[in-house]
Amino acid sequence: MSPLSLMKQHAPDWAPRIAVVLGSGWGGLTKHLSNAVQIPYAELDGFPQPTVAGHDATLWLGNLGAQPVAVMSGRKHGYETGAVDGMAKPLKMLQQLGCHTLVQTNAAGSLRADMPPQSLMLITDHLNLPQRSPLVGLTGNDRFVSMVDAYDSELNSHAALIAKGQGATLFEGVYAWFLGPQFETPAEIRMAQRLGADAVGMSTVPETILARHLGLRVLALSFITNFGAGMSAEHLSHAHTLSQAKEGSERASQLLAEIIATLP
Ligand code: HPA
């Protein structure tokens, strides 16, 4: 069935305004949803079937406070097939349903000694290090998307205000995208630090580009699961990312739920 008709069948007379992508550690957000319905990606044409342990594949429709939201629990990563446009169809569909904002979350490694694991970071800008784009192959002048203010400054101020109100520390910084799936080398981490990055990860940037192309405003948050390779004695693994993310999930989701419920 087409995603649009399936969604209408699940929730007639209802349209989401905010699309959310949940990365590792952010699954707790769905506990804050009211009147939620779940649709497995398998039932939605064009939605990805994730191949990563610990990553779900469910679309949740519901409300956070008075805000109607569509929450994608699970995303397609560039490292799964090499293609970086795996989220193009889901995002287009959610925009067509009425979403004007995309809230993104991820797990990331810290490049800053003063931002330890379990920190939360608001992404204020990114480095597209692989220089891959989900817009390659499109035609038309609107493919030449401005990436200035890609992470919306008004939404960022709002998130910072809510964090302050909760007494939560919310770092701000630049996210450097590495394609993965291997973790970075210590030399790559030093390079990213010198280029001005504050965190590293394997997601988010393609979706931000897609969202800006669709005219969606973007807000993005990283949950810091580790220091970048070579910065500490810690051994990096996917299991380590998941266990760290699980530990801080409750607190991160609490903050995110309030940020979204009160978004302008
Ligand atoms: N590197 C890349 N991706 C990540 C990391 C990291 O250190 N931690 C969590 N996701």
Residues forming the active site: 24, 55, 77, 79-80, 107, 202-203, 226, 238
Q: What is the pLDDT of residue 144?
A: 97
Q: What is the pLDDT of residue 24?
A: 84
* pLDDT of 145 strictly over 90: yes
The per-residue pLDDT for range 131-142, each reduced to its tens digit, is 999 999 999 999
Q: How confident is the model at residue 92 (pLDDT cuts 50, 70, 90)?
A: very high
Question: CATH assignment of 3-261, given 3.50.50.60, 3.40.50.1400, 3.40.1190.10, 3.40.50.1580?
Answer: 3.40.50.1580
Cβ–Cβ under 8 Å, residues 5 and 233: no
Inter-axis angle of helices 238-261 and 153-166, nearest 10: 100
Mean pLDDT (whole number) for 42-49 = 87
Distance 108 CA to ligand 1 centre (A): 4
Q: How far apart are CA 114 and CA 220, in angstroms?
A: 20
Q: Which atom of ligand 1 is nearest to the CA of 110?
A: 7
Q: pTM for the complete prediction?
A: 0.94
Q: Is the CB of 209 under 6 A from ligand 1?
A: no
Q: Which residue did the predictor score with more confidence, 42 or 90? A: 90
The per-residue pLDDT for range 149-191, each reduced to its tens digit, is 999 999 999 999 999 999 999 999 999 999 999 999 999 999 9
Q: How far apart are CA 202 and CA 26, in angstroms?
A: 16
Domains of the chain, residue spans: 3-261
Question: Whose C-alpha lies nearest to ligand 1, atom 2?
Answer: 201
Q: Which residue did the predictor score with more confidence, 237 or 71? A: 71
Q: What is the pLDDT of residue 52?
A: 63
Cβ–Cβ under 8 Å, residues 131 and 180: no
Q: What is the pLDDT of residue 216?
A: 98
Q: What is the pLDDT of residue 259?
A: 97
Q: How confident is the model at residue 130 (pLDDT cuts 50, 70, 90)?
A: very high
Buried b (16+ CB within 10 A) or exposed e, 34-73: eebeebebeebeebbebebebbbbbbbbbbbeebbbbbbb
Inter-axis angle of helices 205-213 and 88-97, nearest 10: 40
Residue with token string 């739920």: 257
Q: Where would I find the beta strands (DSSP E) of 74-143?
A: 101-110, 120-128
Ligand 1 pocket test target in 175, 179, 241, 246 with most atoms within 8 Å of CB: 241
Distance 202 CA to ligand 1 centre (A): 7
Q: How confident is the model at residue 246 (pLDDT cuts 50, 70, 90)?
A: confident
Structure tokens belonging to residue 133 = 């784009």
Q: What is the pLDDT of residue 84?
A: 96
Q: Is the CB of 184 under 6 A from ligand 1?
A: yes
Distance 186 CA to ligand 1 centre (A): 12
Cβ–Cβ under 8 Å, residues 69 and 260: yes
C-alpha distances out from residue 164 to 16, 49, 194, Å: 27, 37, 29
Q: What is the number of residues in the chain?
A: 264
Q: How far apart are CA 224 and CA 227, in angstroms?
A: 8
Q: Which atom of ligand 1 is nearest to the CA of 227?
A: 7
Mean pLDDT (whole number) for 122-148 = 97
